[in-house]
Amino acid sequence: MSPHRPTQRDLDPHLHRYARRTAGMTASEIRALFAVAGRPEVVSLAGGMPYLPALPLDSLAEELAQLVLTDGMTALQYGSAQGTPALRERICEVMALEGIRAHPDDVTVTVGSQMALDMVTRIFCDPGDVVLAEAPSYVGALSTFASYQAQVVQVPMDDDGLVPEALDAVLGALRAQGRTPKFLYTIPNFHNPAGVTLPVARRAEVLRLCAEHRVLIVEDNPYGLLGFDGQIYPAMRASTPDNVVYLGSFSKTFAPGLRVGWALAPHAVREKLVLAAESATLCPPTFTQFVVSRYLAAYDWKGQIKNYREAYRQRRDAMLAALAQYLPPGCRWTHPAGGFYVWLTVPEGLDTKAMLPRAVSYRVAYVPGTAFYAERTDSPGPSPTDAFPGDTFPAGRLMRLSFCYPTPERITEGVRRLAAVLEHELELQRTFGSVRPRPMVGPQSPSPDTA
Amino acid sequence: MSPHRPTQRDLDPHLHRYARRTAGMTASEIRALFAVAGRPEVVSLAGGMPYLPALPLDSLAEELAQLVLTDGMTALQYGSAQGTPALRERICEVMALEGIRAHPDDVTVTVGSQMALDMVTRIFCDPGDVVLAEAPSYVGALSTFASYQAQVVQVPMDDDGLVPEALDAVLGALRAQGRTPKFLYTIPNFHNPAGVTLPVARRAEVLRLCAEHRVLIVEDNPYGLLGFDGQIYPAMRASTPDNVVYLGSFSKTFAPGLRVGWALAPHAVREKLVLAAESATLCPPTFTQFVVSRYLAAYDWKGQIKNYREAYRQRRDAMLAALAQYLPPGCRWTHPAGGFYVWLTVPEGLDTKAMLPRAVSYRVAYVPGTAFYAERTDSPGPSPTDAFPGDTFPAGRLMRLSFCYPTPERITEGVRRLAAVLEHELELQRTFGSVRPRPMVGPQSPSPDTA
């Protein structure tokens, strides 16, 4: 044993070799907690895992065996970097439900829509480039933007999603600085994590503002077909094919373990996307593309989506009822009309990140709100959002609750436990006074647990 | 119709938005030709597609159906960004065949080893960083390095692979410039495209030089188990776990359409790889990982590799016999002891890229050698290899011939057609004099056709 004390350099002899972007890649502090949260006795309201028992495994097993026997030689072989033509045609049929008219040539199949996000960022963002996103935004997107050293400027939302006036103000402030954002990343339907939906009139307003400022829109829409009353909103891409890159996914409407997503992009952008994807993975898995194609051809996939919707609606109802019944005064939360998530604000003085260990000891887990905000401290130069003192979102008082995976009974029990945690924290506050919330840190790296 | 003439900006309204790295992403000029080369009447000696008819589809179909019925809920769900523990354990068993002792904790499953290459480059390379590679090198690696704006310095090979003296000279020249390469990318076994193998003594020498110069080694080994006489070379990783990142793949030993590869990395590097992979795809497809795990558990996979080896050996024999029989004087080629490729040098004055259209009209296709060299013109500053005037590899006279996919009879016919093309070009040369070869351009973006 060497007698000298180990330093960080000793612990990682490769430390001097990493790229600058790698410095920003750090594991979430809450990751260890989620390992504990995975125990069966904990009700996890943290994860974004779909409720798969709704799937018809018997018929899937049969279809898959047939697929191997009839198409095995092709399905197990390399394929095109853009994805199989058959699946890209099917994807156009799926998008038609949202009013999108698209040609399969403009679709690029990706390894989940996460890879689409990665590819879009790769082709557009140099280090220091500005990307706009909602505040809060999907943790996996923030992590991707960080890995390309983009500067994320987050635009306030309200119960109707992105606030056009706030977007206008941010765009104006950036223009005054001579900076043009590379794109606006937005989740218009059943937002992750906020659970809100952008009304049709606001979509038009956002499209108009982005056109005016020549800012591309990246429309991420994994939950669009999961509206609980069956309403399907028109995609922003439907009216504006030239200025929107649309991201879709089969993870929530079929199964995430296949990792099949896609990007629909203006033709010239699509060419770049395919070249980027080719150097990233050569081609997406041919086999899982065949599985999705066959599923869409052979099975009542719209009926399956109805089953999912119904399962999630029941869970949403259970969560909203439990929140109303158990939570202490001073809490407020969003009322999602679809998707997976409720966004909860806890009473003043509480800190959702600081109280997470207690929650886990009470056998309930959630994702603290700070995970959904980009870190501002390492932004180069003054942050444009500093110009908006109104944007003092109480990130420390926020949390994301997911209702996608546990049964309604478990959701009710989980919220009951969460209420006990909040009561306990409020009791502490009354006894010892308010603790100052910790400064925001984020984005933590995503994981399927927090996605 | 607007009366003004369209410019490039008009054709792509997003042109001003792309990142700097995207400028280097251009489709290969030869891609259109490969579309033609895909026609059944053309013998393609260009592609790197494995010969899948050797696979046992009946039993695979049965196993897959069982997999869905018994493990469907897990196999179709999100998984860990690092890959499933079960598959990582199996991967350690596979690597043990090459003398590697590794812990599953240090394995990261990726979407083919192409993604592993992308992730390694992502965590290590800032724009302008130097990466060493063999001359020639795998086109997909060159494309990935280019997409991270790394500067590739290629080190000469001979019939025994990378030349240690040349590596020493390049490392010395770079050191004199104050530059340390981020890593050496090497394919020690049955090289793509060169078809050569690094002898054991040279491996030790390369390891020693890289340790001395503190340069990490990225050992890419997709073909290591496909040695035709059954010999398995010890991996460089086996003796040097701390300074080698090892990349493996099931694409050539099982099936590429599943896109299952991996990286085995020193522990601290592995942590960064997983974080990078998480932001790239959240997690690799759970389903295809289950398929590979089940295949390895239920099937005689070593017997299957023997079947592959035998199929490829017959094809290699057919190609070498046909080359000896049909090719005109002045040609030379490598004699691969495994893998997929022969590396052919044509007579002086011929240009393999210029003559590709004629080859396709003669119904045979190959990959011109220029694809396997990094473009030097956009390197920042003086290229270190300028110091080595001996490195005037006749890239224009080189081509890669693959023997993995067509039957032995088709291979023989393909080489016969190629010989006719060469005779025709030589006849033209005798009549009109030598044409000066075009300057090198590369790397073209990879595609499964050229991978």
Kindly tell me if the per-residue pLDDT of B115 is higher than 80. yes
Kindly tell me if the per-residue pLDDT of B110 is higher than 50. yes
Q: Which of A219-228, A258-267, A351-360, B425-434 has the lowest mean pLDDT?
A: B425-434
The most distant pair of C-alpha atoms in chain B lies apart, rounded to whole Å, by 70
Pick the residue of B22, B78, B129, B132 with the most A CBs within 10 A to test the interface with A by mutation. B78
For a pLDDT cut of 90, what percent of chain B falls above it?
82
- CA distance linking residue A17 with residue B182, whole number of Å: 6
How is the beta sheet containing B398-402 ordered, strand by strand?
B332-333, B341-345, B398-402, B367-368
Give me the residue from B112, B216, B281 closest to A114, CB to CB: B281
- Residue B26: band (very low, low, confident or very high) from pLDDT cuts 50, 70, 90: confident
CB–CB of B19 and A281 under 8 A?
no
- Residue B434: band (very low, low, confident or very high) from pLDDT cuts 50, 70, 90: low
Pick the residue of A259, A272, A304 with the most B CBs within 10 A to test the interface with B by mutation. A259
Kindly tell me if the per-residue pLDDT of A211 is higher than 60. yes
Q: Once rounded to an integer, what is the mean pLDDT over residues B141-151?
A: 96
CB–CB of B77 and A182 under 8 A?
no
Kindly tell me if the per-residue pLDDT of A9 is higher than 70. no
pLDDT of residue A179: 96
Backbone φ, ψ for residue A399 (5° rounding) = -150, 155
CB–CB of B76 and A114 under 8 A?
no
- CA distance linking residue B91 with residue B82, whole number of Å: 13
Kindly tell me if the per-residue pLDDT of B446 is higher than 70. no
**C-alpha distances in angstroms, B88 versus B11, B97, B137, B285, B413?**
47, 15, 28, 14, 43
pLDDT tens track for A258-309: 999 999 999 999 999 999 999 999 999 999 999 999 999 999 999 999 999 9
Q: Which of A8-17, A183-192, B191-200, B332-341 has the lowest mean pLDDT?
A: A8-17
Kindly tell me if the per-residue pLDDT of A344 is higher than 80. yes
Average pLDDT along chain A: 90
- Residue B30: band (very low, low, confident or very high) from pLDDT cuts 50, 70, 90: low
pLDDT of residue B68: 97
Surface of B (319-348) touching A: CB under 8 A: none
- Residue B435: band (very low, low, confident or very high) from pLDDT cuts 50, 70, 90: low
Surface of A (420-439) touching B: CB under 8 A: none
Kindly tell me if the per-residue pLDDT of B449 is higher than 60. no
- Residue A29: band (very low, low, confident or very high) from pLDDT cuts 50, 70, 90: low
pLDDT tens track for B369-397: 999 999 753 333 333 333 333 344 578 99
pLDDT of residue B296: 96
pLDDT of residue A393: 53
CB–CB of A124 and B256 under 8 A?
no
- Residue A328: band (very low, low, confident or very high) from pLDDT cuts 50, 70, 90: very high
pLDDT tens track for A236-257: 999 999 999 999 999 999 999 9
> Which two structure tokens, joined as six digits, stand for A447?
């994981």
DSSP letter, residue B227: B
Higher pLDDT, B301 or B384: B301
Return the SS3 of A367. strand
Q: Which residues on chain A are in Cβ contact (under 8 Å) with B129?
A: 19
> Which two structure tokens, joined as six digits, stand for B50?
């494995």
- Residue A437: band (very low, low, confident or very high) from pLDDT cuts 50, 70, 90: low
Is the Cα torsion angle B251, B279, A148, A95 positive or negative in sign?
Answer: positive
Return the SS3 of B216. strand
Give B263's strand partners. Answer: B108, B247
Surface of A (7-46) touching B: CB under 8 A: 11-15, 17-22, 25-27
Nearest CA in chain B to A48: B78
- CA distance linking residue A232 with residue A235, whole number of Å: 9
Give me the residue from B57, B64, B257 closest to A285, CB to CB: B257
- Residue B29: band (very low, low, confident or very high) from pLDDT cuts 50, 70, 90: low
Average pLDDT along chain B: 90
CB–CB of B259 and A14 under 8 A?
no
For a pLDDT cut of 70, what percent of chain A falls above it?
89
> Which two structure tokens, joined as six digits, stand for B374?
């990094």
Burial class (CB in 10 A: 0-12, 13-18, 19+), B28: buried
- CA distance linking residue A325 with residue A321, whole number of Å: 6
Q: B124 near B262, Cβ under 8 Å? A: no
B250–chain A Cβ distance below 8 A for any pair: no
pLDDT of residue A12: 86
Higher pLDDT, A96 or B441: A96
Give me the residue from A75, A125, A278 closest to B257, CB to CB: A75
CB–CB of B279 and A20 under 8 A?
no
pLDDT of residue B180: 94
pLDDT of residue A173: 97
Give me the residue from A20, A287, A446 closest to B257, CB to CB: A287
Nearest CA in chain A to B143: A279
* Alpha carbon of A430: minimum distance to chain B alpha carbons (Å): 40
- Residue A395: band (very low, low, confident or very high) from pLDDT cuts 50, 70, 90: confident
Kindly tell me if the per-residue pLDDT of B20 is higher than 70. yes
The single residue listed with the structure tokens 């983009």 is A150
For a pLDDT cut of 90, what percent of chain A falls above it?
82
A172–chain B Cβ distance below 8 A for any pair: no
A61–chain B Cβ distance below 8 A for any pair: yes
Pick the residue of B259, B304, B405, B445 with the most A CBs within 10 A to test the interface with A by mutation. B259
- Residue B36: band (very low, low, confident or very high) from pLDDT cuts 50, 70, 90: confident
pLDDT of residue A85: 97
Q: Which residues on chain A are in Cβ contact (under 8 Å) with B282?
A: 112, 114, 140, 259, 446-448, 451
Q: Which residues on chain A are in Cβ contact (under 8 Å) with B285?
A: 111, 257-259, 285, 288
> Which two structure tokens, joined as six digits, stand for B341?
């490729």
pTM assigned to the model: 0.92
Q: Which residues on chain B are in Cβ contact (under 8 Å) with A32?
A: none
pLDDT of residue A11: 77
* Alpha carbon of A261: minimum distance to chain B alpha carbons (Å): 10
How would you write B326-392 as a 3-class SS string?
HCCCCCEECCCCECCEEEEECCCCCCCCCCHHHHHHCCEECEEHHHHCCCCCCCCCCCHHHHCCCCC
> Which two structure tokens, joined as six digits, stand for B368?
């011109």
pLDDT of residue A450: 42
pLDDT tens track for B164-205: 999 999 999 999 999 999 999 999 999 999 999 999 999 999
pLDDT tens track for B52-77: 987 999 999 999 999 999 999 999 99
Nearest CA in chain B to A143: B279
Kindly tell me if the per-residue pLDDT of A435 is higher than 90. no
Q: Once rounded to an integer, what is the mean pLDDT over residues A385-403?
A: 67
pLDDT of residue B10: 55
